[in-house]
């Protein structure tokens, strides 16, 4: 556990970790706070559209007179939620892939890693645009689920998780390979432990730090992807706000109110860069001997998005 204390001493970890923590607390604390002040972030006030910052509206109002600060916090709640949940889904799938590939080795390893490399090399964004445009009815998903208001959120979580798992799989496979030859694993095998038992009981707990690093990096990646798809109108759908789709409407009023376009993008930028610095710092602190450093790939995956 000393590693964790080291990690906190790392400036990158401390600063980016605090920023993320503040964002999460602010975003998830916004609804009760709004209720406390008697502000309804969804109230439309056409007489005060695009108002300048005031005491009542610290950042002013948006194109239909809603309080911008609360809209940003609401949007942040959705963006952070989608990013974190998608990264966790990706982490579970990626860990399974990496663990099986690394432990079993041989042909299975080659096949799984070829598949992973193949996914990484594809032009993912164009394919994601297709996946986002699919007609869920044709997939045979019951209309009760399709017509629910949260479907755009559930859908985007699945979509970005499809991209996020590759980072985790590669990191976990690398760590599994080096653990496999350690004495305690060989002892377990010699004592007759079954492969699933060795993987789950002996190797998996020791993968905690690489998985945490990979998941942190994946959060940055998923938030960036969510914002791109939502911006293009293929992700989180209005009226649910997210930082990405707030920029879509801001684009239309950009000549009148550039601040509407500035804030959401700046928040995405800060969040993603904080996730990447946090992941990078944690990697240095938790796994100082890591030979193959994994680089954050957010834009590399979107552009790398992007």
Partner 1 sequence: MTRFVSTRLLQMIVVIAIMSFIIYALIGLMPGDPIDLMISSNPRLSPADALRLKALYGLDKPLIERYFAWAHAALTGDFGYSRLYLQPVLNVLVPRLGNTAVLMGASLFCAYMLALPLGIIAARRPGSAVDGAVNLVCFAGISVPSFWLALMLILVFAATLGWLPAGGVETIGDGSLPDRLRHLVLPVTTLTLVSMGSHLRYIRAAMIETLRQDYIRTARAKGAGEFRVLAGHALRNALIPVVTVLALSFGNLFSGALITETMFAYPGMGKLIYDSILGNDFNLALAGLLVATVMVLVGNLAADIAYSAIDPRIAYR
Contact set with partner 1 (CB under 8 A): 118, 120-127, 129-131, 133-135, 138-139, 220, 224, 227-228, 231-232, 247, 251, 254-255, 258, 261-262, 264-265, 268-269, 272-273, 275-277, 280, 293, 295-306
Q: Which is nearer to partner 1, 155 or 202 (CB)?
A: 155
Q: Which is nearer to partner 1, 185 or 272 (CB)?
A: 272
Q: How many CB atoms lie within 10 A of CB 271?
A: 26
Q: Which is nearer to partner 1, 124 or 153 (CB)?
A: 124
Q: Which is nearer to partner 1, 85 or 257 (CB)?
A: 257
The answer to whether the CB of 63 falls within 8 A of the CB of 260 is yes
Q: Which is nearer to partner 1, 212 or 301 (CB)?
A: 301
Phi-psi region of 105 (alpha: psi -120 to 50; beta: other; left: phi over 0): left
Phi-psi region of 192 (alpha: psi -120 to 50; beta: other; left: phi over 0): left
The answer to whether the CB of 59 falls within 8 A of the CB of 226 is no
Q: What is the smallest separation between the CB atom of 244 and partner 1, expressed in angstroms?
A: 8
Q: What is the smallest separation between the CB atom of 224 and partner 1, expressed in angstroms?
A: 6
Helix (H) or strand (E) holding 245: helix 243-252
Q: What is the smallest separation between the CB atom of 192 and partner 1, expressed in angstroms?
A: 39
Q: What is the smallest separation between the CB atom of 39 and partner 1, expressed in angstroms?
A: 27
Q: Where are the alpha helices (DSSP H) in 63-207?
A: 68-104, 106-121, 124-133, 143-146, 151-180, 183-190, 195-197
Q: What is the smallest separation between the CB atom of 196 and partner 1, expressed in angstroms?
A: 30
């Amino acid at each position: 556990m000393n590693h964790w204390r080291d990690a906190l001493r790392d400036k990158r970890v401390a600063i980016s970790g605090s920023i993320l923590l503040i964002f999460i607390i602010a975003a998830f604390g916004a609804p009760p706070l709004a209720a406390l002040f008697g502000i309804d972030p969804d109230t439309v006030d056409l007489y005060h559209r695009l108002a300048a910052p005031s005491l009542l509206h610290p950042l002013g109002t948006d194109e239909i007179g809603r309080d911008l600060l609360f809209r940003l916090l609401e949007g942040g709640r959705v963006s952070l939620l989608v990013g974190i949940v998608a990264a966790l889904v990706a982490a579970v799938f990626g860990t399974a892939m990496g663990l099986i590939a690394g432990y079993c080795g041989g042909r299975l390893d080659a096949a799984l890693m070829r598949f992973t490399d193949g996914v990484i090399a594809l032009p993912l964004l164009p394919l994601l645009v297709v996946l986002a445009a699919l007609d869920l009815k044709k997939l045979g998903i019951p209309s009760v689920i399709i017509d629910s208001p949260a479907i755009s959120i559930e859908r985007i979580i699945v979509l970005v998780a499809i991209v996020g798992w590759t980072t985790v799989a590669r990191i976990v496979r690398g760590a599994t390979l080096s653990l496999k030859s350690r004495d305690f694993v060989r002892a377990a095998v010699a004592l007759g432990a079954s492969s699933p038992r060795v993987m789950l009981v002996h190797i998996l707990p020791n993968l905690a730090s690489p998985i945490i690093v990979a998941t942190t990096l994946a959060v940055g990646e998923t938030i960036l992807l969510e914002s791109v798809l939502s911006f293009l109108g293929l992700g989180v759908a209005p009226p649910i706000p997210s930082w990405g789709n707030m920029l879509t409407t801001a684009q239309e009023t950009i000549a009148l109110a550039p601040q509407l376009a500035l804030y959401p993008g700046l928040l995405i930028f800060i969040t993603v860069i904080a996730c990447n610095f946090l992941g990078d710092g944690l990697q240095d602190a938790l796994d100082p001997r890591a030979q193959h450093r994994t680089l954050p790939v957010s834009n590399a995956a979107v552009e790398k998005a992007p």
